Amino acid sequence: MKKVPSPFPTPISYEGLSHTQLVELLTQKDQLLDDHHQVIRHQEKLLDERKQRIELLEELLRLAKAQKFAASSEKSVYQIDLFDEAELEAAMDALIEQLPEGVLPETLRPRKRQRGFSDKLPRVRVELRLSEDEKVGATSTFFSKVKEELDIVPAKVRVLEYWQEKAVFKQEENEQERIRSAERPLHPLGKCAVSVSSLAYIIAGKYADGLPLYRLEKQIERYGAHLDRTNMANYLIRLNEPIKPLLNLLWEVQLEANYLQGDETRIQVLKEDGKTAQSDKWMWVIRGGPPDKPVIHFEYDPSRGGKVPVRLLDGFNGVLQADGYGGYNAVCRENNLTRIGCWDHARRKFVEASKAGKTKTKSKNAVPAKADVALGCISKLYAIETKIKGLSVEEKTTARQEQSRPILNAFKEWLNKNVGTVLKDGLTYKAIQYTLNQSDYLTGYCEDGQLHISNVLAENAIRPFAIGRKNWLFADTSQGAHASATWYSLVETAKANGLEPYAYILHILQHIASADTVEKLEALLPWQVKTAL
């Protein structure tokens, strides 16, 4: 019968071994065990790292799916559990409510049911008359208004023919004739075959309505004329020069303020010295100004370095609000500025972490994720801002110290406690780290009631540029980018002051050629022409 081998190792015989040999053998055995344990620990470490890597990739995948397919709402399924329903409703409207009425985009403004049409619109009376046969036997007739219709007349293209009257005078001395001509209107471009109203129409179309020049070219063709897009681009660039004095005056007024907001966004410029067409260039925006004199300053620069805000804010002393980008550190040091942060940016990071979290349920026993807990706390801060919106600056400061400060202190303590309990390098970890690193800046708005909890006004000012960029995609040259900065500055400044952009741009173009003194330039500032327009 064949002998089956034993599954157990053959026992080692220690007979005949000396004490020294036994000690040496046991030492080798312990060393082998230690080596095996080290290998096991190394493998466990690798498995943990791979597990964390998989969790991070799954989180990023969920975030990408949420950004592409899910609803864009930032509302969390747990937020009602984290604070009162009334606070939730207030928090959802907090960002909109804190904006001035004249600055708020129409798409975000709460819809108010309006009966009829505005009294400011011109009205044309259309009389529906009875025929003579129908009025036979009537003692009297009268009209009653039965309805109103909104009537829109498309733009009309026409040619202005300038006929100059000339008077002939005879000189008695030499009997020669002298001719005197009527003055010709000044044009900001000198000799130009396009009227100032046409230029204002192009500027408003591209920079207020986001229409690229090729669409404007097609639109004008439908009206029966032709205006090449290349010529339109050249007009916009050439107009940049006569507008510069007015812009410089606007920037001087802006720097007189004690509170400004800054932001920046990408722009692609195909022909920029020392840069490839694919590299990022930047459009900067500074928003703010003295009370009742808001100014939006757009500035193109191929660099995102700290030297740009140093140049833009030269001479400014006060409070600067921006996101966490380190490019603003230099100007804050050199100008000794007080810097405050933006809670919108901190909140978005927690929103991303919440969207990328595992599937949530509304079960009573469900435990909210840490990102959702953070969002609930931040929403309480926004709810406070809604409640105190109508208070004076001093009352807002007091309310923030009494109501917001305790929440901020408790939130910071919670962040410090939980930063080590979440997956390192995960979205929740990054959100917590960002908020902790920016905590001193994020609490700065509590010190003064005129400050805002977020940088939303600057972002709101730069949003039309971002929307327009999706249509026209890029600027061909740096001159075109600088021209875009000029016209976005004037369009957004007009909107911030409650002016219709086309009307304000037209007013500027009609008078800028003759504005040869500082007084005449000051008369073109938006708060000076507001009544006239």
Residues in the chain, total: 533
Structure tokens at 367: 């435990």
The verdict on residue 371 lying in a domain is yes
The verdict on residue 459 lying in a domain is no
Q: Give the distance from CA 327 to its chain's centroid.
A: 18
Q: What is the pLDDT of residues 393-431, one digit of tens each?
A: 999 999 999 999 999 999 999 999 988 888 888 888 889
The verdict on residue 419 lying in a domain is yes
* Residue-range definition of the domain harbouring residue 81: 76-100+343-359+366-454
The verdict on residue 383 lying in a domain is yes
- Model pLDDT, residue 2: 58
**What secondary structure letter does DSSP report for 168?**
E
- Model pLDDT, residue 353: 84
CA distances from 302 to 38, 308, 464, 477 (A): 53, 10, 20, 11
The verdict on residue 128 lying in a domain is no
Region 148-166 average pLDDT = 88
The verdict on residue 84 lying in a domain is yes
Cα(532)–Cα(528) distance, rounded to whole angstroms? 8
Structure tokens at 79: 């937020």
- Model pLDDT, residue 124: 92
Cα(340)–Cα(455) distance, rounded to whole angstroms? 9
Instruction: For the full predicted model, state whether its pTM sits above 0.95.
Output: no
- Model pLDDT, residue 234: 94
Cα(347)–Cα(19) distance, rounded to whole angstroms? 71
CA distances from 111 to 97, 106, 119 (A): 13, 9, 19
Highest mean pLDDT out of 3-17, 68-82, 437-451: 437-451
CA-nearest of 157, 156, 149 to 121 is 149
Residue 136 pLDDT exceeds 60? yes
The verdict on residue 440 lying in a domain is yes
CA distances from 312 to 197, 251, 269, 329, 465 (A): 31, 9, 21, 14, 19
Cα(115)–Cα(49) distance, rounded to whole angstroms? 64
DSSP E strand stretches across 330-407: 338-340
Helix (H) or strand (E) holding 392: none
| 45 against 87, higher pLDDT | 45
Residue 1 pLDDT exceeds 60? no
The verdict on residue 296 lying in a domain is no
Region 80-88 average pLDDT = 42
Provide the domain count of the chain.
1
